[in-house]
């Protein structure tokens, strides 16, 4: 059974989230303080973390960085503010997605969690090569010259989406729908931030990317220079 | 900088004004004192000359009379010789030839012309040099008389002079008059020199005064200019600058007072800024604090709502109302936060270029369901080409949705007309309905927060009462205009006019507020 760790200092909201997720068939671990997260996380590693930004002890952004430092688990931030800075900070700290309170529908939350748990690359098998990267779709591993590059699930999915169709230029909306599972485009910053994070891990020189190339005014595509 | 603007700047300067008026006043004073001085000096010089001339004349005439009396026994010829001597030699006798003294012996009219006429003048001087008026006085007087005159020579030259005369008696001939004429050339030359030096002294004095005034004024003007510069800095937002204070004079007091004012202003501004920060922080906190319970509420209500079929109808309906009211509550919260952002002046525009026609079409199609529910339809009238505009698309869409939703709600099931007209500078969208309308007074108040046309009339279901206020603020943020027109029972007309370029202003109105299909008689 799937386990989701819900980190929120509001007891009532946490309990409510618990009810909604449990009734959707998801196990829930409730944590109310930022500085308790890591302990619980290590004791009982969840499949996904639902993380509030404002937390006592240690704020959500810091918690996100700590989790990222030791795990590639999907993290969805919860924010009460639609504040741009909060959202971008959260994404840069390593969150895969975010939701702004109040959510339109609980079902939206469940759907979002399921999307994050499901792999967009699931069902594919074999190997893909992109420049000097070897992508193993079964083991979910990316290697360069036999050396493993640690990618989060989302980053892996993003890379696979681009690598599957090397000649296609993906608009940000297309990536949002294929990788994040959004039906309507919402926030293209999600794509921008994650492309930056992915580049930082796989590019030789992130300032002059050769693997994930920006197509000005359109979006991104996989760079095929350096062999297929 | 052009010449004229430099002149204008100079004219506008305090220093120029002070120097100009000082120089003008000094000029008057110097002129008055100079001419008084000149008059006094020239009078004095004349007086001295007259006195010395009269004294000299007396002695010369006495001398002449004496010599004539001494020779009175001689023949008329011998006397003539003596007279000739006196006239011709008199300069050497008196020794004032350099003074340009002339002598004349004139026969008094009453004396008969004898065998020998003793009348004679020196150096071919004409008799007309002696004024008749003086001769009359001399003839009547027993002592010397004098007058100013011009010495005329036979060659036509004239010299200003002083004429002094006295009666003289020549034995066997009768009464004659003897005149001595003293040239005033030297005195005139002295006076010219005097007036010249007075003039140049005056000019130098005025220049010096102008320079001194300039230096003094600069001392005063410099701190005033500095104060002006700092005040301008304040206006531009630089609150840190202060005046430098030296000494304890009035200027220093001005500087002190200015600095105190600056400090108090800075404090006030800081206080207001702090208040604004507190306000913004409060809004943000309210936002967070309300959103969390609202999230819980929403999820709880959704859980109940999802299972409402299991309950009896009253509870099921309650669940529906609960969900609807939470929606409304959330909308109200959003609107309040938006309003508070406008009040705190932290609302910012995210400018993009887009097509207003396409946006209106999108809004109309999104609202088609609501229009269908209210049994109305929307007719869009525009001139074909896209209406490109640089604006915040989210805000413009919000204004349009608001106007359209209101029009549909109050349409009274009559079709709506939406017009888009663009000019070079602006784009206008007019939303016209033919429903219950507004009275004229209400048309001004529809943008007021939480305002209701008729307190007893129900608000549009789900409306917050803030929609039009926000729409107006959004329009103003774009330097645009949003206006309402209405007549009871004749519908309403809302016109949004936006400048096409970001930062532009609305100059003309492509759509008149009063609808074209309305005449006051109908």
The interface predicted TM-score (ipTM) is 0.75
Q: For the segment A61-70, what is each residue's pLDDT rounded down to a tens digit?
A: 999 999 988 8
User: What are the C-alpha distances in Å from B240 to residues B178, B233, B236, B263?
Assistant: 94, 9, 11, 9
C-alpha angle B386-B387-B391 in degrees, rounded to nearest 5? 135
Q: How confident is the model at residue B430 (pLDDT cuts 50, 70, 90)?
A: very high
Per-residue confidence (pLDDT) for residue B89, from 0 to 100:
61
Lowest mean pLDDT among B207-221, B309-323, B429-443, B508-522: B508-522
Residue range B356-380: average pLDDT? 91
Asked whether B292 and A10 are in contact (CB, 8 A), the reply is yes
Q: What value does the mean pLDDT of chain A take?
A: 84
Q: How confident is the model at residue B522 (pLDDT cuts 50, 70, 90)?
A: very low
Asked whether B320 and B449 are in contact (CB, 8 A), the reply is no
pLDDT surpasses 60 at B2 = no
Asked whether B237 and B27 are in contact (CB, 8 A), the reply is no
Backbone φ, ψ for residue A6 (5° rounding): -105, 115
Residues of chain A neighbouring B298 (CB-CB closer than 8 A) = 102-103, 106
B 370-409 residues with CB below 8 A of A? Answer: none
Stated as kind and residue range, the H or E segment containing B256 is: helix B250-306
Per-residue confidence (pLDDT) for residue B474, from 0 to 100:
93
- In sequence order, what DSSP letters do the residues of B67-103 get, joined into one string? HHHHGGGS-HHHHHHHHHHHHHHHHHHHT-GGGTEEE
Residue range B107-119: average pLDDT? 77
Per-residue confidence (pLDDT) for residue B98, from 0 to 100:
47
Q: For the segment A126-181, what is each residue's pLDDT rounded down to a tens digit?
A: 788 887 888 888 888 888 888 888 888 888 888 888 888 888 899 888 888 888 87
More confident residue, B352 or B116: B352
Spatial distance between the Cα atoms of A173 and A191, rounded to a whole number of angstroms:
9
More confident residue, B213 or B97: B213
Long-range contact pairs involving B208-211 (C-beta distance under 8 Å, separation at least 24): B209/B22, B209/B23, B209/B26, B210/B19, B210/B22, B210/B23, B210/B26
Out of B288, B295, B298, the one facing A54 most closely (by C-beta) is B288
Spatial distance between the Cα atoms of B295 and A86, rounded to a whole number of angstroms:
18
Per-residue confidence (pLDDT) for residue B398, from 0 to 100:
92
Q: For the segment A178-190, what is each residue's pLDDT rounded down to a tens digit?
A: 888 777 666 777 8
Q: How confident is the model at residue A226 (pLDDT cuts 50, 70, 90)?
A: very low
Residues of chain A neighbouring B284 (CB-CB closer than 8 A) = 81, 83
Q: For the segment B126-178, what is each residue's pLDDT rounded down to a tens digit?
A: 888 889 899 989 888 888 889 988 888 888 788 888 899 998 888 777 888 88
Q: For the segment B75-86, what is each residue's pLDDT rounded down to a tens digit?
A: 777 778 888 777
Lowest mean pLDDT among B5-9, B20-24, B484-488: B5-9
pLDDT surpasses 50 at A227 = no
Percent of chain B with pLDDT over 90: 20
Q: For the segment B231-270, what is each residue's pLDDT rounded down to a tens digit?
A: 888 888 787 888 888 788 887 888 888 888 888 888 888 8
Nearest-CA distance from A119 to chain B in Å?
27
More confident residue, A2 or B281: A2
Residues of chain B neighbouring A105 (CB-CB closer than 8 A) = 302
User: A151-186 b/e with 16+ CB inside 10 Å = b?
Assistant: bbbbbbbbbbbbbbeeeeebebebbbebbbebeebe
Lowest mean pLDDT among A36-50, A126-140, B424-438: A126-140
Asked whether B180 and B105 are in contact (CB, 8 A), the reply is no
Spatial distance between the Cα atoms of B138 and B148, rounded to a whole number of angstroms:
14
pLDDT surpasses 60 at A40 = yes
Spatial distance between the Cα atoms of A207 and A199, rounded to a whole number of angstroms:
9
Q: What value does the mean pLDDT of chain B take?
A: 84
Residues of chain A neighbouring B299 (CB-CB closer than 8 A) = 16-17, 19-20, 103, 106, 109
Torsion of CA B177, B183, B184, B186, to 10 degrees: -150
Q: How confident is the model at residue B95 (pLDDT cuts 50, 70, 90)?
A: very low
Nearest-CA distance from A28 to chain B in Å?
16
Interface test with A, best of B282, B290, B294, B295 (most A CBs within 10 A): B295
Per-residue confidence (pLDDT) for residue A120, from 0 to 100:
59
Q: How confident is the model at residue B416 (pLDDT cuts 50, 70, 90)?
A: very high
Q: Which two tokens stand for residue B152?
A: 């005329």
Per-residue confidence (pLDDT) for residue B365, from 0 to 100:
92
């Amino acid at each position: 059974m799937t386990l989701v760790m819900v980190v929120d200092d509001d007891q009532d909201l946490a309990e409510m989230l618990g009810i909604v997720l449990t009734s959707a068939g998801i196990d829930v671990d409730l944590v109310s303080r930022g500085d308790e997260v890591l302990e619980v996380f290590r004791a009982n590693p969840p499949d996904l973390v639902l993380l509030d930004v404002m937390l006592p002890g240690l704020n959500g952004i810091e918690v996100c960085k700590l989790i990222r430092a030791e795990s590639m688990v999907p993290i969805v931030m919860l924010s009460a503010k639609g504040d741009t800075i909060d959202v971008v900070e959260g994404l840069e700290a390593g969150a895969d997605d975010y939701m702004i309170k109040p959510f339109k529908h609980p079902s939206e939350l469940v759907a979002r969690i399921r999307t994050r748990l499901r792999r967009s690359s699931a069902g594919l098998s074999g190997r893909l090569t992109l420049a000097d990267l070897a992508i193993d779709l079964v083991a979910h591993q990316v290697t360069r010259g036999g050396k493993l590059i640690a990618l989060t699930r989302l980053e892996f999915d993003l890379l696979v989406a681009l690598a599957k169709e090397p000649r296609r230029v993906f608009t940000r909306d297309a990536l949002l729908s294929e990788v994040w599972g959004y039906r309507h485009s919402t926030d293209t910053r999600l794509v921008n931030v994650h492309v930056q994070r992915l580049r930082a891990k796989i590019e030789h020189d992130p300032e002059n990317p050769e693997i994930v190339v920006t197509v000005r005014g359109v979006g991104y595509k996989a760079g095929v220079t350096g062999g297929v | 900088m052009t010449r004229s603007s430099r002149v204008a700047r100079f004219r506008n300067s305090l220093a120029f004004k002070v120097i100009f008026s000082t120089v003008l006043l000094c000029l008057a004073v110097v002129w008055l004192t100079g001419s008084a001085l000149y008059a006094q000096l020239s009078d004095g010089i004349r007086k001295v000359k007259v006195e010395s001339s009269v004294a000299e004349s007396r002695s010369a005439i006495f001398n002449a009379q004496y010599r004539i009396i001494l020779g009175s026994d001689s023949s008329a010829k011998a006397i003539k010789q003596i007279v000739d001597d006196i006239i011709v030699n008199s300069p050497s006798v008196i020794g004032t030839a350099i003074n340009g003294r002339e002598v004349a012996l004139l026969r008094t009219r009453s004396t008969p012309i004898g065998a020998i006429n003793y009348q004679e003048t020196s150096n071919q001087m004409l008799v007309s040099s002696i004024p008749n008026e003086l001769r009359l006085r001399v003839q009547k007087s027993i002592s010397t008389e004098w007058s100013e005159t011009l010495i005329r020579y036979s060659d036509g030259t004239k010299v200003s002079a002083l004429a002094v005369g006295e009666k003289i008696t020549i034995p066997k001939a009768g009464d004659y008059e003897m005149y001595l004429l003293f040239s005033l050339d030297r005195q005139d030359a002295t006076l010219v020199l005097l007036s010249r030096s007075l003039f140049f002294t005056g000019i130098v004095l005025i220049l010096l005064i102008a320079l001194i005034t300039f230096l003094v004024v600069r001392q005063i003007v410099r701190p005033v200019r500095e104060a002006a510069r700092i005040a301008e800095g304040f206006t531009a937002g630089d609150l840190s600058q202060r005046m430098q204070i030296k000494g304890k004079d009035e200027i220093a007091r001005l500087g002190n007072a200015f600095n105190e004012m600056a400090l108090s202003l800075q404090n006030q501004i800081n206080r207001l800024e702090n208040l604004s920060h507190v306000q913004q922080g409060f809004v943000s906190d309210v936002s967070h604090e309300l959103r969390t319970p609202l999230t819980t509420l929403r999820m709880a209500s959704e859980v109940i709502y999802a299972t409402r079929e299991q309950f009896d109808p009253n509870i099921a309906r309650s669940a529906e109302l609960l969900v609807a009211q939470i929606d409304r509550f959330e909308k109200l919260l959003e609107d309040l936060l938006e309003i508070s952002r406008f009040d705190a002046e932290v609302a910012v525009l995210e400018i993009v270029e887009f097509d207003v026609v396409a946006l209106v079409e999108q809004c109309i199609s999104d609202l088609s369901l609501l229009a269908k529910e209210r049994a109305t339809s929307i007719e869009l009238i525009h001139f074909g080409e896209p209406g490109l505009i640089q604006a915040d698309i989210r805000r413009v869409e919000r204004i349009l949705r608001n106007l359209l939703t209101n029009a549909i709600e109050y349409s009274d099931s009559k079709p709506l007309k939406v017009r888009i007209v663009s000019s070079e500078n602006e784009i206008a969208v007019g939303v016209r309905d033919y429903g219950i309308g507004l009275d004229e007074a209400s048309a001004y108040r529809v943008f007021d927060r939480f305002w209701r046309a008729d307190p007893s009339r129900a608000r549009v279901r789900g409306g917050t009462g803030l929609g039009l206020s926000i729409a107006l603020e959004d329009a103003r943020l774009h330097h645009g205009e949003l206006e309402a027109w209405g007549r009871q029972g004749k519908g309403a007309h809302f016109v949004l006019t936006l400048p096409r370029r970001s930062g532009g202003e609305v100059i003309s109105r492509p759509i008149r507020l009063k609808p074209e299909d309305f005449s006051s008689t109908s």
